[in-house]
Chains A and B, each alone.
Chain A
Amino acid sequence: MHREDPQPDGITRFAAPAGGEAASTHRRSLRVGIGGPVGSGKTALVAALCRVFGPDMGVVVVTNDIYTTEDADFLRSAGVLSTDRISAVQTGCCPHTAVRDDIAANLDAVEALEQAHDPELVLVESGGDNLTMTFSRGLIDVQMFVLDVSGGDKVPRKGGPGVTASDLLVVNKTDLAPHVGADLAVMARDAAAVRADRPVVFTDLRGDPRAGPVTDWLRLQLAARRGARTT
């Protein structure tokens, strides 16, 4: 069907078959969820990933945080992301719901950015407020969970789906470990105990604004995706 008429309210309608499956195998982009407690460094990590991958691959970002113009300004002033590549989703006071139980608004935001920019990398940031947060596989392909050492070295032991089941656990702000008395070896040991073989990396985004260990891991994911699409 080819109907395509501008509506009085400026919305173009297409008569297309409705509501197909998220065709993950046909799409070009890798969709990456970035979750973790408030202030752990998710946006700093997004900035790092935009810095590293943006120029070559095109990166777009969906944020589920309470979104102010300062957030956009932060990424824009860091010179890593133009405003039209970031989209904010309102979560109705339930950030978990929006990325896990009812992902409709996030899917709409992701698809709109993909249509506009054809990126290879889509980042979905959600400031879930505790350790129980996890992204729906209907929304993202892989997910990372960002903790920071100042939350205390006991956090990995508490587990929760974010810590145990995320594809990559990022322990950030290692530069602060001496100041807060956090023992990184304890964090590594406890995380390994609950994560089977899933990887854990330690970062200091102050000292390494390109997030070396995370980008190395993500490169592998991107390569795997490209391989899967070409075979």
Chain B
Amino acid sequence: MTDPDHATTTAALLLLADSRLPAGGHAHSGGVEQAVTTGRVHDVTSLDAFLRGRLSAAGAQAAAVAAYACRLAGHDSADGGDWRRLDDEVSARLPSPAQREVSRAQGRALLRVVGRCWPAPVLSWLGERPHHAVVQGVAVALTGGGTHDAALLVASASVTGPASAALRLLGLDPVDVTRLVANLAPDIDHCAAYGAEASAVDDAALLPAPALPMLDVLAENHARSEVKLFAS
């Protein structure tokens, strides 16, 4: 496998970042639906604030995890124990049971795609329902990408998915939403650099744990609400 710290981006990476990837992402709002229901997000400005918060917490945390998983996938000596340890550390960083369940559901969905498009022995170490960011990192490794690619993919997805959910729920002007995300690009890049750097640790327990309790509250309330359009 390529050296994960100096790998180059490939067309396959664009495929992984494409919102049309059939890995279930279209039905996840990352807390936006609950934020809209409760009136916290109601226009482009409030969406901007929400996405910045999401990027700095959930985005940064998942970016580091994905980069770590990407590097681990390049280690031939990594075994089940290493992957299990990473899995436990990700669970520990998701205090809301609903968030953990959503992470595993998305991980499983992505694993379906990766297992058929880029089959590899390392996938069998991940279990049936691995965390989403872990599969994202491994997928990047399997397509020839490196730790920074993995962090960038995840940082970007942490806001683009929720942004399009807001577009659908609020009927916003699509170019307004795109411009909002375009203006976030430097922050996404920064988040990716942070994630890649923070992933350079020997032990998954040393990965950072940025958090925003409101995201956990939104996830829990979403899981409990009777009528919902999105899975998260």
- Say whether A and B bind each other: yes
Count of interface residues, chain B, beta-carbon cutoff 8 Å: 45
Contact with B along A1-37 (1 / 0, CB 8 A): 1010001111101111111110000000000000000
Which residues of the other chain, A, contact B100 by a CB distance below 8 angstroms? 9, 11
Cross-chain contact A102 with B111 (CB below 8 angstroms): no
Q: Mark B18-45, 1 if CB is under 8 A from A, else 0.
A: 0011111111110000000000000000
Residues of B near A108 (CB, < 8 A) are 24, 105, 108-109
Whether A94 and B168, one on each chain, are in contact in the complex, defined by CB atoms closer than 8 angstroms, is yes
Q: Which of A3, A66, A105 contacts B80 (CB 8 A)?
A: A3
Known: A9-B100, A94-B168. A103 touches B127 (CB 8 A): no
Interface flag for A93 (CB, 8 Å): yes
The contact string, 1 if C-beta is below 8 Å from chain A, for chain B 88-130, is: 1001000001001100110011011111100100011111111
Say whether A104 contacts B23, CB under 8 Å: yes
Contact B114 A103 (CB under 8 A): no
Inside 8 A of A230's CB, which chain B residues have their CB? Answer: none
B227 at the interface (CB under 8 A from A): yes
| Any B CB within 8 A of the CB of A231 | no
Distance (Å) between the CB of B159 and the closest chain A CB? 16
CB–CB A9/B91 < 8 A: yes
State whether A91 and B115 are in contact (beta carbons under 8 Å apart), knowing that A7-B87, A7-B91, A14-B128 are contacts in the complex: no
**Set A8, A18, A66: member contacting B115, Cβ < 8 A:** A18
Contacting pair A90 B228 (CB below 8 A): yes
Partner of B109, one of A9, A91, A104: A104
Contacts of B230 in A (CB 8 A): 90, 92-93
In addition to A9-B101, A15-B126, 11 A-B residue pairs with Cβ atoms within 8 Å of each other are A11-B129, A14-B128, A18-B124, A19-B116, A19-B119, A92-B230, A93-B230, A98-B27, A104-B113, A105-B24, A105-B27
Q: Which residues of A contact B (CB under 8 A)?
A: 1, 3, 7-11, 13-21, 66-69, 89-94, 97-98, 101-105, 107-108
